[in-house]
């Protein structure tokens, strides 16, 4: 039987990934001019873009108010996620998923408060069709949500204690 992941370990994991996210964003801002792109592999570019909206540019042209909405949502979500991670009944798989979502929320929150938006730098494409640019925080949110959904669908729950049959 494996030892369950402790809440502190999950939060530290989230902090490490958020740090990597912020370091990569800082490197992109330092080394690439806004709008510049570098072909890394066929179908993969490194780019420097700022997303003022939410995922995939949602509300990017809303006039600026959305920045404050996304900051408030990220703070509230982070508080809720930490509370969920700390619950004793939260399993290791759920803690990993929640930690990945937390790292994404924190990484994009820090970026959004420091800039007018979030630095996205990974550009995946096929031919002329580009997926919206994204970053490590976005990967964390997506993988974390997938882990939680898969765990909810297929995860093994601890068996309920057997009823006392000695009555």
Q: Are strands 44-51 and 118-126 parallel, antiparallel or unpaired?
A: antiparallel
Please report which confidence band the pLDDT of residue 93 belongs to, taking 50, 70 and 90 as the band edges: very high
pLDDT at 76: 95
Average pLDDT over the chain, rounded to an integer: 86
Look up 120 and say whether it is catalytic: yes
Mean pLDDT for the stretch of residues 137-166: 76
Residue 137: count of CB within 10 angstroms of its CB? 29
Q: How many CA atoms lie within 13 A of 102 on its CB side?
A: 25
The catalytic position among 103, 111, 120, 123 is 120
138 included as an active-site residue: yes
Instruction: Specify whether the CB–CB gap between 98 and 84 falls below 8 A.
Output: yes
Q: Which of 103, 111, 123, 138 is catalytic?
A: 138
Least confident of 2-11, 103-112, 119-128: 2-11
Percent of the chain with pLDDT over 70: 84
The answer on pLDDT for 70 being more than 60 is yes
């Amino acid at each position: 039987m494996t030892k369950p992941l402790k809440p502190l370990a999950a939060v530290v994991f989230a902090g490490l990934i958020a740090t990597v996210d912020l370091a990569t964003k800082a490197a992109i801002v330092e080394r690439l001019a806004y709008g510049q792109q570098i072909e890394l592999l066929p179908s993969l570019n490194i780019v420097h873009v700022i997303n003022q909206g939410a995922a995939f540019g949602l509300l990017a042209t809303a006039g600026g108010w959305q920045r404050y909405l996304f900051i408030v949502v990220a703070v509230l979500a982070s508080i809720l996620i930490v509370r969920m991670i700390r619950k004793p009944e939260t399993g290791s798989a759920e803690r990993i998923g929640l930690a990945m979502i937390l790292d994404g929320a924190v990484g994009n929150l820090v970026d959004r408060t420091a800039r007018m938006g979030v630095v996205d730098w990974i550009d995946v494409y096929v031919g002329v069709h580009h997926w919206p640019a994204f970053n490590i925080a976005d990967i964390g949110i997506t993988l974390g949500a997938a882990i939680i959904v898969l765990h909810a669908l297929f995860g093994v729950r601890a068996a309920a204690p057997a009823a006392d049959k000695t009555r």
